[in-house]
Amino acid sequence: MLRKLRLGTQFTLLLTLIFLGGTILSGITLSRAMQHKAEDEVSTKAEILTQTMNAVRSYTSEHVAPLLQKQLETSPKFISETVPAYAALEVFENFRSQPEHRNYIYREATLIPRSYRLDLDQKAGEIAWVGVNHITVYSMLEDRELRGSELEERWIPLQDNAYILPPEEQANDPVQRDIQDIPKVLKSIEQSWRDPVSFNRQTADYLVELLIEKAKLWDHRQRATVNFKLEQVADIAAIDLLITGVESSLWLGERFAQDLTLLFPSLSVKTISANQLLQRLQYDWKGLRLGKTSIVLAISQSGQTFPTLQATNALEELRRQGSISELFIMTGEICSLMGTAIAQLLEQPQVAN
């Protein structure tokens, strides 16, 4: 078809195609150049803004915060102006109030928050003063502030802790989620008791061994008494197992005592409220019939119920003195104030350098 056109027409058409191709190529090149220029301008402005925010943070940290430090210690309300990130965000919001800068966004770069728990030693009368970036622990027993190195092994991490599991997902109805998780929790508990190396299983096995030994000893004494070959042991009147707690924990202990009595009729098993136990430890020690072979089980779901915790402290002292044989605690978590009272601490993994 092009052969039928005149030579001048063909030449004109060729020039037109070249012109259109050059125009399109020039447009693409210009567009990319303008885009790069715009990106460079935005990047430059962002860098300037970032440096400005850093300057605001430094000024707040080095000049503003020290001036407000004394007021911060005595003020009942937290003073936000002492936080460098707060000052930077406030300055940037004023910058964004201008119409030509509304599209800019500034966010503080933060590390993943780490949370820890620190249990104070009540017997040492420890008091904690928590500041913005530090914590000070004072021991009334030793009349001094504790060094940071003395607290290192007492910090309990809440992240990456196999014994503290966060919720898998956020739910609109937390109660419904908890109900739905009941089968999973029960299965986890069952697996823990089936695992021979779990803390629950090892502790329970040890308690059972002690109770079986007591049952065997009672049978041996009975036979000896019948044959008149052995003398009665002076500690025979001491109870074998004392279970204490309050409210629902005490009720659980009473049910356990009933079942235990059915399994071991020869054992002397008693239950008592932790409040009554504290009173009798002070005024009626002999009436408790606790002896050097007696075992005590303290139950508290939270591990920090006040009367049960105080009873645990007193009973641990008796155990150390040899006045009772063993002290067991049953709580809803592995790390608790009751656990600390019997020197049970979560061993922290050592990181190799």
Task: Show Cβ contacts of residue 10 under 8 Å, excluding neighbours closer than 6 positions.
Answer: 2
pLDDT at residue number 244: 95
- Looking up tokens 């050059």 gives 22
Do 284 and 277 touch, CB atoms closer than 8 A? no
Asked if the 191-341 domain carries CATH number 3.40.50, the reply is yes
CA 158 from centroid of its chain's CA atoms: 3
pLDDT at residue number 146: 86
pLDDT at residue number 101: 72
Q: What is the pLDDT of residues 117-169, one digit of tens each?
A: 787 877 778 888 876 667 888 888 888 888 878 887 778 777 777 666 666 66
Give the number of C-alpha atoms closer than 13 A to the C-alpha of residue 181, restricted to the C-beta side: 15
**Ranges of each domain in the chain:** 2-101, 116-183, 191-341
With left for phi above 0 and alpha for psi between -120 and 50, is residue 343 left, alpha or beta? left
CA dist 300 → 153, 154, 165, 297, 331 (Å): 25, 22, 20, 10, 5
0.75 surpassed by pTM: no
pLDDT at residue number 1: 56
The torsion angles phi and psi of 29, rounded to 5 degrees, stand at: -65, -45
